[in-house]
Amino acid sequence: NAGVTQTPKFRILKIGQSMTLQCTQDMNHNYMYWYRQDPGMGLKLIYYSVGAGITDKGEVPNGYNVSRSTTEDFPLRLELAAPSQTSVYFCASRQRTGGRIGALEKLFFGSGTQLSVL
């Protein structure tokens, strides 16, 4: 049972470079999220998706792009990396059903990607 898989685990970028953080889930969840966690801080939502083809901005979307072409995959693209994007990135998924049926749902997290922009 793989759950939520993120790659790579670590990456160092130079300022101005671009890269894509991969996220795949094998639980057929409809909702997927990208969070960033700066040192000593909480989780901030970057983007989320409620299903294939649908994405929406979170709290800190600037400098990032996402796509959701399939239920399984939710890649996060960094264009023109900046030192302010140095952070740990977490992908997460859940099956949102709402109401009392949703009482069993929870958020499943990947193991994180540690990104440094130098």
Partner 1 sequence: AQKVTQAQTEISVVEKEDVTLDCVYETRDTTYYLFWYKQPPSGELVFLIRRNSFDEQNEISGRYSWNFQKSTSSFNFTITASQVVDSAVYFCALSEANTGNQFYFGTGTSLTVIP
Which one, 22 or 114, has the nearer CB to partner 1? Answer: 114
Only one of the segments 11-19, 20-28, 69-77, 85-93 lies at the binding site for partner 1 (rule: CB under 8 A); that segment is 85-93
- Angstrom distance (rounded) from CA 23 to CA 39: 22
- 109: contact with partner 1 by CB under 8 A: yes
Smallest separation, CB 19 to partner 1 (Å): 20
- Angstrom distance (rounded) from CA 20 to CA 79: 9
Of the candidates 19, 43, 52, 82, which one interacts with partner 1 according to CB under 8 A? 43
SS3 (DSSP) at 108: strand
Q: Is the peptide bond before 8 cis (omega within 30 degrees of 0)?
A: yes
